[in-house]
Every structure is written in C-alpha cells, then in structure tokens.
Structure 1
Amino acid sequence: GTVVAGGNGSGNRLDQLSYPQYVFVDLDHSVYVSECGNHRVMKWVEGAKQGIVVAGGQGEGNGLTQLSYPKGVVVDQLDTVYVADRGNDRIMRWPKGATQGSVIVGGNGRGEQSNQLNQPF
C-alpha cells in the first residue's frame, strides 16, 4: 500500500497523526482524517507531504474552535466538514476555510432528550 496521510510517527505536526479515527475520501481523492489525539480533522490533498487542519486543532475543549475526541467525518461538495464531536455530544459543521465551526445537532449536554446526543460516533 501507499501512505496517504501521516506515516511520520504519532504527534501533532502537520505531517503526523495521533489516534486517527475515521477517514473520508472526496471526489478529488483528498483524504480527511479525524484524530482523537490532537482533537482535530485533517485534510490531506492527493500527493501532499503534510495535511491541513480543517476543524479543531486548538486543543481539547467545547469552544467553537475546538473538538473533543472527534469521530465520524463527512465532507460535502462545497468542502464543508461535518464531524461527530463525541466528547461534546454534538455534531459540528465547519465551512471551507472557517476558523470556527457551528453546532448543528446536540451541544446541550449528554442525554436522551430530542435536543441532546450521547457520545455520537
């Protein structure tokens, strides 16, 4: 196989991953990886030696610039990133180039009410 993301040991540099979780590949063959170790989502353009932070990356937390143990990631045709922010019990949307995301589902504490999530994957 061919390494398409990371491969330089575990860490927080742009050419490293730490506890990668979920992978999404878009039509341009860019690879998106959610990382629990760095609380971020990285985009790796085909052939790139390092990735680009497209969500989170500001340490673990519940601010709009932060993620906590991100899991599932999906990217639409406008390059908007949708990520299951497991530790914060919410789904976040990060438009292309955005420095912060917005909560689109959950974010009201962990629970079973219609406006709550429980550690989404």
Structure 2
Amino acid sequence: MGEDGSLYVIDNENYEVRRYRRGESEGTVVAGGNGIGHDPSQLFEPQYIFVDRDHSVYISEHGQQRVSKWVEGAKERIIVAGGNGKGTDLTRMVYIEGIVVDRFGTVYVADRGNNRIMRWPKGATQGSIIVGGNGLGQEPNQLNMPF
C-alpha cells in the first residue's frame, strides 16, 4: 500500500506489478509487464513488494535472488540487492522473500534459504547479516526459513 492509499499488486502470470489508485478498477503497470526474463524491463518470479515515499517500487525476485527497484515512471529496473545467483557469501542470497526499505534507502531482505536477514545499504555491492546466518535451528542466534 502506498502512502497515498494506492494498492500495489503482483500479477505473477503476467510478471508485472500494478498500481490501483482509489476508485480505479483497472490498474497501471508500474514494473515489468514484458514477460519473464533477464532483460532490465522484465521481472523473474516476483514475490514481495515495498513502496517508498517517492512511489518507487522494490520487488524481491525469487527466480533471480535479487531486489529490484523501479522508480516511478521507469521502464527498467535497478538492482539494489543481490542478483549474483544463489550462494552463501555476502553478495548472494537463496530464495529471498520479504523486504523492507528504510528512509535512507537501506534494503532489508529475508534470505530464507540461508536462514538470515540481510541489510543492503544504498549503493552497496554486498550486504551484511543482521540476524541469523548460523544455520537452520531453534537457538537464539538462528532462524528457521524466515519470510
């Protein structure tokens, strides 16, 4: 949900995110909409979205292990976290899920496959682990497939 009350919806079958303003019955494509793929104008298995104050849409893309940012009006994404394939190092993630972006543009990602939450500061080429990352488990320093 945007601060202006607009509803943002992932349409998985069309690989796009649509914005529905109050009173609208037809949404506007704000990200993707060009089929599945690797092209900067396409999405690959979008999972979760976050909308910031500037109406930029952040999307966790399960299929590419990345978070993409779509500035309002943009036709192509900017990769702001991951995008380097699956892995355990600080430049890679596995099966990413929920995302939150703070007012400074720092992206927080639930890296489900690595049982950790990562922080990616604006412009960073690698993230840092802020919670978990110590294997799957029940201990206080472990997570169990976070969303």
Shorter-chain TM range is over 0.9
> Shift in Å at residue 3 of structure 1?
0.7
1:14 offset after TM fit, Å?
A: 1.5
Identical-pair percentage: 69
Measured in 2, the distance between the counterparts of 1:53 and 1:67 equals: 13
Q: Distance in 1 between matches of 2:105 and 2:44?
A: 23
Q: How does 1:1-121 map to 2 (within 5 A)?
A: 1-121=27-147
Unaligned runs of 5+ in 2: 1-26
Q: TM-score, normalised by structure 1?
A: 0.98
Amino acid at match of 2:146: P
Which ranges of structure 1 fall in alignment gaps of 5 or more residues?
none
- Give the 3-state SS of the residue equivalent to 1:4 in structure 2: strand
What is the alpha-carbon distance in structure 2 between the residues aligned to residue 107 and residue 29 of structure 1? 32
Length-normalised TM-score, structure 2? 0.81
C-alpha RMSD of the superposition:
0.6
Q: Which has the higher strand share?
A: 2
